[in-house]
Amino acid sequence: MTLHSVNPATGLVLRSYQETDAAAVEGCLVEAAEAQPVFAARDQGSRNAILNRAAELLESRAGEYARLMTLEMGKPIGAAEAEVAKCARVCRWYARHAERLLGDEAVATEASESFVRFEPLGVILAVMPWNFPFWQVFRFAAPAIAAGNAGLLKHASNVSGCAVAIEEVLRDAGAPRGIFQSLLIPSSRVEPLIRDPRVRAVTLTGSDPAGRAVAAAAGDSLKKTVLELGGSDPFIVCSDADLARAIATAVTARTINNGQSCIAAKRFLVERSIADEFEAGFRDAMAALRMGDPLDRDVQIGPLATEAIRDELAAQVDATIAGGGRRLLGGVIPSGPGWFYPPTVVADPPPDTPLRVEESFGPAAAILRFESDEEAVALANETEFGLAASVWSRNPERARRFVSELATGSVFVNAMVASDPRLPFGGIKNSGYGRELSGYGLREFLNVKTVWVES
């Protein structure tokens, strides 16, 4: 089988990659299982050196890797460059903090000595999506390498070039043979890998159905999983918010990565007394965005990653409008090559319409009005997702109430939701479980070992 990378701006094939055959996959498993214990026995400094060197290589090759991402999945070139820089940052963060986070923790007991030790689990399988093709891999790979685990990457098939490049970076940075390998395989070949006894845990970033499938196979094999799944993040604007700042941030929050982000704001909940002003300002700002070739630095909206994703978003918008939503902007697929979809705004989507209850991947926003904070919380929590939320209010006590009552993995007050190496990232409900990043993410794939010593 051949895997194809297709330029979403043109619909033309960029490059074809030969699928990793069964014998080669077996060889990768053997190498990973043999290399990991040796790697884990290394001193922390040598593992940190790999991460620091990887950061240097990412920065020196930033132009090459950013262009690759833009060509394979359509993100604007400036955003792709920022993604490479963020990958370098996460490598350096773990190199700086791993020794402290992985050190033994003494616990006072009746024993002569008692402590908690953190040890790597072994070979970790990472099933990663296409939307942040470097960042989502490095936010797994950096802590995995810091801890002494080995990684096997099954990347999305449409970004196979990025998968190859990431393996190249870590190899060139000094990672021993077998410690990080990319497997160019379709999704249909993932389950046998999960069940293989040499794989000790699985992390997945992807859709709710993909998460359920991975969790089922891993659970049947009694293996640890971390799942970062979809989101339908609310962006709540109260009457006492800095409205101009909220509108400007709302546009970025909806259209980051061409709107293809699990933590992109998707439902904009606005207090009724300011709703007309917000709608007008948000619509006009969305309309002013320039859509086109993502390699053009003046372009803010590139194509969606695949034709199927574009068509699914169009169907969600059409169904929401047919169900009674008010179209304020966009909603029509443009003519011409590529998988473009224009910035789109739909107000007052009725209950059970797609833009209100489903995850939408692309630059389509839903605006709902609320009368009270209780209603805002109810609207925010009404979906099956619970990844993140953004709240806008100049009243600290009011904002704190939202922080307490929103059913999400994170809440950002007067700021756009974002991931940061210093803070844990993940969700609840159908947005998954477990955490990535920070010390919490580092310890997800460790054996937390209790040690009790008596004289």
Determine the residue type at 259.
G
Residue labelled with tokens 């902007």: 329
Question: Under CATH, what is the fold of the domain 2-229+431-453?
Answer: Aldehyde Dehydrogenase; Chain A, domain 1 (3.40.605)
* Dihedral, 188, 194, 198, 199 alpha carbons, nearest 10: 120
| Domain map (residue ranges) of the chain | 2-229+431-453, 233-420
At 171-222, the pLDDT tens digits run 999 999 999 999 999 999 999 999 999 999 999 999 999 999 999 999 999 9
Residues labelled as active-site residues: 228, 262
Q: Which CATH architecture has domain 233-420?
A: 3-Layer(aba) Sandwich (3.40)
**Bridge partners, residue 436, by sequence:** 425
Alpha-carbon radius of gyration of the chain? 23
Q: Report the interhelical angle of 396-405 vs 373-380 (nearest 10°).
A: 30
How many Cα atoms sit within 13 Å of 130 on the Cβ side? 24
pLDDT at residue 234, rounded to an integer: 98
Full-model pTM: 0.97
pLDDT at residue 254, rounded to an integer: 98
DSSP character at residue 392: E
Identify the three-state secondary structure at position 426: coil
Residue 95: partners with Cβ closer than 8 Å, 6 or more residues away: 48, 49, 51, 52, 55, 146
Positions in the chain whose pLDDT score sits under 50: none
Report whether 367 contacts 347 (CB < 8 A).
yes
Same fold, 2-229+431-453 and 233-420: no
pLDDT at residue 1, rounded to an integer: 80
